Amino acid sequence: FWTSGTLLYVPKGVEVDLPLHSLIAHSKDGVADFGHTLIIVEDEARATLLEETTSADETIAGLHVGCVELIVGKHANLRYVQLQNWNQKTWHFAHQGGNVESQGNLQWTVVGLGSKLSHIHQDINLNGRAATAEVNGVTFTSDRQKISYYTQQHHREQGTHSDLLYKEVLRDESRVIWRGMIKVDPAAQQTDGYQRSDALMLSRDARCDSIPGLEIEADDVRCTHGATTGRVDEEQIFYAQSRGISEKEAMHMIVEGFFQQVYDRIPVEVVRETLSRTVQGKLGIEAMAVV
């Protein structure tokens, strides 16, 4: 069934200091790609992987159906960044799951920039005591792009911690849907779960729907959620223009500031640089050096 894949296996106790990079690209028109990413980080091991998806040019159409499995052992640490940057003639569907054992740590960053239509189902399972997960999301849509996410933070054991922060910027007639759920099992006492989605609209024709949720079956927990949606403050644009800054440059500063909270949580410098360049491109600004 699978036509492509990425396998990363880190044995027990091995620490990979340098970030690894995996590139998945469509180079032919009409390609259908069924990809499987499997990452296994055994007990007391450590690794960082940036996985990037892209199209060779803007004219080819394609389909990508993907599966991601992340397995983090006891006292292990995995930083995984998925940078989705298909062209706007590609359809993208993915089911992704992360499993974290006792005192393991997973930092998972999902970046959605491309595709015509995209749906991502993301499950985080905290299976062992004191397991932790930090989940980051950056989405920037334009034209008539449509991207939807369903995220679930599943606390299965005592003392687990999860922290999810998604940021979305929309322009033109694009649409984004985020539906999140924190699920706490009866055995998962002393759990700390948090989820938040913030959306910034650059156009009156754009639309974002954010639906957070909680399903709690334990009585000694701290779980909170929230969602905000807003538009660019025209007074900020006017103030910047009065200081000699163009409207596009002012918009870029506002968008970068909006994403900064997530940028600060992303450990891979090349990802931050790529995000900044893509934001500039979607705003019609020529690439500038990242400071």
pLDDT above 60 for 130: yes
Domain housing 140: 4-233
Indicate the pTM of the whole model. 0.93
Q: Which residues contact 59 (CB under 8 A, 6 or more apart)?
A: 29, 87, 89
Kindly state whether residue 32 falls inside one of the protein's structural domains.
yes
Nearest to 263 by CA among 251, 250, 276, 277: 276
Mean pLDDT of 128-149: 97
The more confident residue out of 268 and 135 is: 135
CA distance 223 to 143: 36
Residue 146 forms part of a structural domain: yes
The answer to whether residue 248 is domain-embedded is no
| 56 occurs within a structural domain | yes
Mean pLDDT of 23-34: 93
| pLDDT of 166 higher than 80 | yes
* CA-to-CA separations, 178 to 95, 121, 146, 220, 251, in angstroms, rounded: 15, 10, 11, 27, 24
Residue 41 domain flag: yes
When divided into structural domains, the chain yields a total of 1
Q: Considering the domain boundaries, does residue 261 fall inside one?
A: no
Determine how many CB atoms are found less than 10 A away from the CB of residue 143. Answer: 11
Instruction: Tell me the pLDDT tens digit for each residue of 199-231.
Output: 999 999 999 999 999 999 999 999 999 999 999
| Tens of pLDDT, residues 228-253 | 999 988 888 888 888 888 888 888 88
Q: Which residues contact 268 (CB under 8 A, 6 or more apart)?
A: 19, 48, 50, 79, 81
pLDDT value of residue 164: 98
The yes-or-no verdict on residue 15 having pLDDT over 70 is yes
Confidence at residue 68, expressed as pLDDT on a 0 to 100 scale:
98
Q: Is the pLDDT of residue 288 over 80?
A: no
Asked if the structure places residue 291 within a domain, the reply is no
Distance (Å) of CA 4 to CA 7, 25, 66, 253, 281? 10, 11, 9, 39, 29
Q: What is the pLDDT of residue 287?
A: 46
Residue 289 resides in a domain: no
pLDDT in tens, 91-125: 999 999 999 999 999 999 999 999 999 999 999 99
Q: Is the pLDDT of residue 162 over 90?
A: yes
CB-CB neighbours of 32 under 10 Å = 11
pLDDT, position 286: 52
pLDDT higher than 60, residue 289: no
| pLDDT at residue 278 in the model | 76
DSSP-assigned beta bridge partners for residue 15? 46
Separation CA 154–CA 131 (nearest Å): 11
Give me the percent of the chain exceeding a pLDDT of 70: 98
Burial of 58 (0-12, 13-18, 19+ CB in 10 A): exposed
